[in-house]
């Protein structure tokens, strides 16, 4: 199989809390650079997780490849270096898509339920991706009325998000990881991907809750958010189970 040639790295397009996007000499490709910076509670808490960028790039590469092999269209093209991934350029749909299998985090607060309760079926939630508003929860009607996405796009997002959930559970369970919940972002493609929605962003312990299957120990960014210690160790443990098993 011929590999896409590596385009030249260009100017910085966008810098987020955990990643930087660079344009490239190919107008339809970008380079996603993973930083060590960690933020929580809409950047009110800031810190660094040593080597997080390297670890997350490795984890996201394995998980995007898994999804691609199973027919989920993602922005992943290939890993370029320790911290860099070549991706299809997207216009991000401003909706954070959360899938939940087990009660935790904001669902626990909203419903007054203890963390750890297994849901009878997965729940899909939408949040408006707006830092200045603290990403408020929205439903399909908000998304449609405020033109965040079309009905066809919402149907695609719903279907793909549940499919990603099933594929990740199947992959993570034998590796001793419970997939509690996770956040996805989708975007509209350009060039040969025009007219298509692709899964974007990243799938890493920054945006997923991963609990140890035997002990329910948290192995994700909640260790940073809640000052639980062993942050780097937990990221490396997830990396070991996902990338080496």
**What does the block give as tokens for 226?**
């809640």
At closest approach, how far in Å is the CB of 123 from ligand 5GP?
10
At closest approach, how far in Å is the CB of 107 from ligand 5GP?
6
Q: What share of the chain is helix, strand, coil (3-state, %, to 5)?
A: 30, 35, 35
For ligand 5GP, the binding residue among 10, 105, 122, 176 (CB under 6 A) is: 105
Helix axes 52-69, 231-243, angle to 10 degrees: 30
For ligand 5GP, the binding residue among 206, 219, 231, 235 (CB under 6 A) is: 206
Distance CA 219, CA 216 (A): 9
Closer CB to ligand 5GP, residue 43 or residue 151?
43
Closer CB to ligand 5GP, residue 87 or residue 99?
99
Angle (nearest 5°) at CA 69 between 56 and 18: 20
Q: With left for phi above 0 and alpha for psi between -120 and 50, is residue 169 left, alpha or beta?
A: alpha
In the complex, which residue's CB is closest to ligand 5GP? 105
Are the CB atoms for 142 and 132 separated by under 8 Å?
no
Q: Which stretches does DSSP call E strand in 185-235?
A: 186-189, 197-199, 208-212
For ligand 5GP, the binding residue among 96, 160, 185, 239 (CB under 6 A) is: 96
Stretch that binds ligand 5GP, among 22-30, 87-95, 158-166, 201-209 (CB under 6 A): 201-209
For ligand 5GP, the binding residue among 23, 84, 181, 237 (CB under 6 A) is: 181
For ligand 5GP, the binding residue among 98, 168, 199, 231 (CB under 6 A) is: 98
At closest approach, how far in Å is the CB of 201 from ligand 5GP?
8
Are the CB atoms for 14 and 34 separated by under 8 Å?
no
For ligand 5GP, the binding residue among 63, 208, 219, 238 (CB under 6 A) is: 208
Are the CB atoms for 116 and 103 separated by under 8 Å?
yes
Please tell me the number of Cα atoms within 13 Å of 62 on its side-chain side: 17
At closest approach, how far in Å is the CB of 203 from ligand 5GP?
10
Closer CB to ligand 5GP, residue 106 or residue 190?
106
Q: What is the distance of C-alpha 38 from the center of its chain?
A: 14
196 near ligand 5GP (CB under 6 A) = no
Q: Given the rule CB under 6 A, which residues bind ligand 5GP? A: 96, 98, 104-107, 135, 181-183, 206-209, 221
């Amino acid at each position: 199989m011929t590999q896409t040639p590596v385009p030249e790295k260009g100017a910085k397009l966008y810098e987020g809390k955990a990643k930087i996007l660079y344009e490239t000499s190919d107008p339809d490709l970008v380079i996603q650079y993973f930083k060590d910076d960690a933020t929580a509670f809409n950047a009110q808490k800031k810190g660094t997780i040593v080597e997080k960028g390297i670890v997350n790039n490795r984890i996201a590469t394995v998980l995007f490849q898994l999804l691609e092999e199973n027919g989920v269209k993602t922005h992943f093209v290939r890993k370029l270096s320790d911290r860099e991934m070549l991706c299809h350029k997207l216009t991000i749909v401003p909706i954070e898509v959360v899938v939940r299998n087990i009660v935790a985090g904001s669902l626990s607060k909203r419903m007054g339920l203890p963390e750890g309760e297994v849901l009878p079926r997965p729940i899909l939630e939408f949040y408006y991706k707006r830092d200045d508003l603290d990403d408020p929860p929205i439903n399909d009607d908000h998304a449609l009325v405020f033109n965040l996405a079309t009905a066809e796009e919402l149907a695609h997002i719903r279907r793909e998000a549940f499919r990603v959930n099933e594929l990740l559970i199947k992959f993570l369970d034998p590796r001793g990881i419970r997939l509690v919940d996770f956040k996805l972002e989708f975007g509209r493609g350009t060039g040969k991907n025009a007219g298509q929605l692709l899964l974007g962003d990243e799938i890493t312990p920054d945006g997923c809750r991963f609990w140890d299957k035997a002990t329910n120990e948290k192995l994700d960014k909640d260790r940073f958010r809640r000052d639980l210690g062993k942050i780097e160790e937990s990221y490396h443990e997830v990396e070991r189970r996902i990338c080496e098993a």
